[in-house]
Structure 1
Amino acid sequence: MKFMVDKEALFRRLAAEQLEPISGLDKLCKWVEDRGLKRAAVTNAPRSNAELLISMLKLEDFFEVIILAEECARAKPFPDPYVKALNALQISPNRTFVFEDSVSGIKAANGAGMPAVGMASRNPEQMLLDAGATFVIKDYNDPKLWGNLEEIVQQKLPL
């Protein structure tokens, strides 16, 4: 247990020194806010890590709901955290999209009926596609993302 506590403390120290937002995050957040879309952070991270990262990225006021795996019966890859977010936001899974950087997260989102955009920030693109990602992007400036978002807007497809 001490090893786990020390590991998480080291993560928080390194994150505080080195964390940089993924390129295009501000642009995506503005797009989401301009459309009045509901939003949640769903994470398997411990509360202290999640709060630190959200604060460092200045997203405290962006997310309406924060769902931690420790608050659910089962963590990702089970859909429970995403189902809890859907219930908290009172939205249908077919009106959502998720950004995920892990295989377990993509499987959890898909298990809750939610399409997932894979973030190839720490896992290979093919691994994320094999897990069920709708498509994979390197960052939030990726033309694939904006092409799909534009299609949603033009066709008035449900989010």
Structure 2
Amino acid sequence: MTVSSGENSSNSTSPLSRLSPLEAILFDVDGTLCDSDPIHFQAYREMLPEIGFNGGVPITEEFYAEFISGKHNEDMATFFFPNDHQRGLKFTADKEAMFRRLAKDKLQPVEGLHKLKKWVEDRGLKRAAVTNAPRENAELMISALGLSEFFEYVVLGSECEHGKPHPDPYLKALELLNVSKDHTFVFEDSVSGIKAGVAAGLPVVGLTTGNPEHLLMEAKPAFLIKDFEDPKLWAALEELDTKAGEATSES
């Protein structure tokens, strides 16, 4: 079995253990809280041929994962329309509207999300959603998943000086929550998002919900999980609980 970046080969020490006492967890939204990438892919696959992109040939999942997933719409507007940014912005806005229409009936939480939600709430941890998604999309997904009261803040890449893969959104979340990067970690599912978390100095747990493992590993996550039921995640959280308990008994 391949050992993910940052993991001890004996699996005796989680790369998250140094964060004890844990103060906060930061969550990406798209693809992390819900498996929304297939819906985005469907929207792009339908709309890009209409503008003649790729000679009118629909994009592949591999193309979507490498060039689109997790990227900010400002960047995608330039990518699709390098000589007409305003037209690019109109296209991405139309695409997000299609996503919202499709998503209303299709959004499902990533497996184990509500189990993790209870774990976070039981320990009184601070939490924020940090996303490159437009506000309408973020609010739709968070509400549909029943998480509107769960997050203290929703930080948007578009409301920072730079969106992901720059660290700005995660640095802003740390500031808003008034927590230390030394006691906080991130859940992300895209290369862009993992790079943003790592650049902010945070350990990132990557989810393989929509993107190939080899691409995610290049962004240097602490480790990868399939979903929030993954035993690797719960072993790491259990170790954090153990260290917190030991610290309490010693004080």
Q: TM-score range by the shorter chain?
A: over 0.9
Using CA pairs below 8 Å that are at least 6 residues apart, which structure has the higher relative contact order? Answer: 2
Superposition deviation, residue 155 in structure 1: 1.9
Match of 2:192 in 1: 104
Percent identity, please.
Answer: 60
Match of 2:182 among 82, 85, 94: 94
**Which of the residues 110, 115, 131 maps onto 2:219?**
131
Equivalent position amino acid for 1:140 in 2: F
Separation in structure 2 between the aligned mates of residue 73 and residue 2 of structure 1, nearest angstrom: 21
Q: For residues 98-122 of structure 1, what are the alpha-carbon distances to aligned partners after superposition, in whole Å with 9 as ceiling and x for unaligned?
A: 1000111111111111100001011
Read off the aligned partner of 1:61 and give its amino acid letter.
E
Q: Name which one, 1 or 2, has greater alpha-carbon Rg.
A: 2
SS at the partner of 1:40?
strand
Q: What SS does the corresponding residue of 2:237 show, helix, strand or coil?
A: helix
Point out where structure 1 has 5 or more consecutive residues left out of the alignment: none
What is the distance in 2 between the residues matched to 1:137 and 1:77? 20
Q: What TM-score does the superposition give when structure 2 sets the normalisation length? A: 0.61
Q: CA deviation at 1:3?
A: 1.9
Give, in whole Å, the separation in 2 of the partners of 1:12 and 1:109.
26
Question: For residue 65 of structure 1, what is the aligned residue in structure 2?
Answer: 153
Q: TM-score, normalised by structure 1?
A: 0.96
- Report the count of equivalent residues: 158
Identify the residue that residue 170 of structure 2 maps to in structure 1: 82
Encode CA deviations 1:105-144: one digit per residue, 9 max, x unaligned.
1111111111000010111122212201111111100000
Tell me the amino acid that sits aligned with residue 86 of structure 1: L
Contact 1:118 1:125 in 2 (8 A): no
Over residues 59-103 of structure 1, what are the superposed CA-to-partner deviations in whole Å (9 max), with x where a residue is unaligned? 000000110011100000000000000000000001111100011
Q: CA RMSD in A?
A: 1.3
Which ranges of structure 2 fall in alignment gaps of 5 or more residues? 1-88
The residue number in structure 2 matching 1:45 is 133
Q: What is the identity, as a one-letter code, of the residue corresponding to 1:106?
A: I
